[in-house]
Structure 1
């Protein structure tokens, strides 16, 4: 009886050890593999050391938008051409503009090209490429609006802005001086619609973006007054990180300009819009 009990005790112990061991197809090095992936990520692109992850905002024509499920626009063609000329791979990651800089800070992106203006504030956390486009903010009103022609006409009015943009920053910095209220939006189309429908009096947008939108989409909007700023767009990486990548980006931009490819890209999207 004692031998029989000892046999079952030994069998139970064996079964317990087997059950606690690694399952078939689940190697014990799984944790080690995760760490290896993180190490690769630090030494190359965020996508496992291969393609660089690129933050974009696809609600921003003519720079970034979708046609038939495909990403297109000035920014898209520029970064694809740079990647080809400098022999590196990219993977586009669309997101709201306001989330792009936090994603760079969190290491979820390697670079961003999103019609992003180069500002002193952004330079505190980002390194920018050489400027690749001269932009600038402008006031935009309903096509029938005859009351607003400059900032001096905005007292008591509602100004629509897109979160995280230089337009939003400009509006907040000048709100007290000109006495308007601010309405925040997550994307440009919603902001355009708000003014076109008369729910907001004016919006602030980069001139090339709104000029393209008015021409191509027949929006009931118009620009008024002089450009308010002389912003320039740049391609961004996290400050102090990816310096080698930034060098490639600048080299690629120079090659695009020297070859005439840069002018070809701009002409494709904005020459016939009168910009």
Structure 2
């Protein structure tokens, strides 16, 4: 076979190879980053992961007809991992806020969360949000709570920790006066493992929409939005939300 015949065959084969690569990319397992130490959103349950965020994305993945797996990570490492292509998406109670929208893309909101403060059950010096001024406040590094404390609570001493569990342990040990974090997470803690140990400071400090995070320009955004829209329309999203947070939770 001469060189011209070889070239002709290679040119004929090229489209098939490109198509095979495209199909392979579309069928590849999605790697979804999540902070799995934050029940009721994502947590280890035996040999698998469970929680509100996990169940939401499981339904999304069905709509995409894609296999996927959870990649457990500290919250502060999620966006860098997304930007470097180590994960395909973030599903971890990720608030949609302007600073993040500059560096990553978001799906449409699938939940509205917010921030709330808890203090020790025996703490009599903190009764309302205004009493947080000048106090030592713990939270998880890299979260929206960090910015909120810096911008809104006068003279607060900010104690950032690797996880919300570390922050709650510090509160129990008396090293901080209060913890500020996602409302549903702290409410879940206050009514379960922290029952009788902490007291929730009402009202909620801030309300924010939650979305799924993607790399800038990701082709996943449009099909994920379509899947979320279908879940809202047929009631699946509401059913998952009520399973974890009760009727009329938002």
Smaller-chain TM-score bracket:
0.7 to 0.9
Structure 2: which 5+ runs fail to align? Answer: 1-16
Given the alignment of the two structures, is residue 198 of structure 1 paired with residue 179 of structure 2, yes or no?
A: no
Given the alignment of the two structures, is residue 73 of structure 1 paired with residue 73 of structure 2, yes or no?
A: no
* Counterpart contact for 2:120–2:198, Cα < 8 Å: yes
Structure 1: which 5+ runs fail to align? Answer: 1-35
* Counterpart contact for 1:44–1:52, Cα < 8 Å: no
Cα distance, 1:218–1:155 mapped onto 2, change above 3 Å: closer
2-structure distance, mates of 1:191, 1:216: 16
Match of 1:109 in 2: 87
2-structure distance, mates of 1:52, 1:250: 16
Q: Which has the higher strand share?
A: 2
| Alpha-carbon shift at residue 221 of structure 1 (Å) | 1.0
* Counterpart contact for 1:137–1:228, Cα < 8 Å: yes
SS in 2 for 1:229: strand
> For 1:228, which of 205, 212, 224 is the aligned residue?
205
1-structure distance, mates of 2:64, 2:127: 46
2-structure distance, mates of 1:146, 1:118: 34
| Alpha-carbon shift at residue 216 of structure 1 (Å) | 2.3
Deviations 1:138-158 (A, max 9, x none): 111111122113343234321
> For 1:259, which of 234, 239, 244 is the aligned residue?
234
Given the alignment of the two structures, is residue 82 of structure 1 paired with residue 63 of structure 2, yes or no?
A: no
Match of 1:214 in 2: 190
The alignment of Structure 1 onto Structure 2 pairs a total of residues equal to: 229
Root mean square deviation of aligned Cα: 2.2
* Counterpart contact for 2:190–2:200, Cα < 8 Å: no
2-structure distance, mates of 1:267, 1:216: 17
SS in 1 for 2:192: helix
Match of 1:166 in 2: 144
2-structure distance, mates of 1:69, 1:141: 33
Deviations 1:113-140 (A, max 9, x none): 1000000000001111111111111111
Match of 2:14 in 1: none
* Counterpart contact for 2:127–2:201, Cα < 8 Å: yes
* Counterpart contact for 1:56–1:112, Cα < 8 Å: yes
Given the alignment of the two structures, is residue 61 of structure 1 paired with residue 39 of structure 2, yes or no?
A: yes
SS in 2 for 1:228: strand
2-structure distance, mates of 1:208, 1:75: 12
> For 1:188, which of 144, 164, 183 is the aligned residue?
164
* Counterpart contact for 2:30–2:67, Cα < 8 Å: yes
SS in 2 for 1:230: strand
Which structure 1 residue ranges, 4+ long, deviate > 4 Å from structure 2?
none
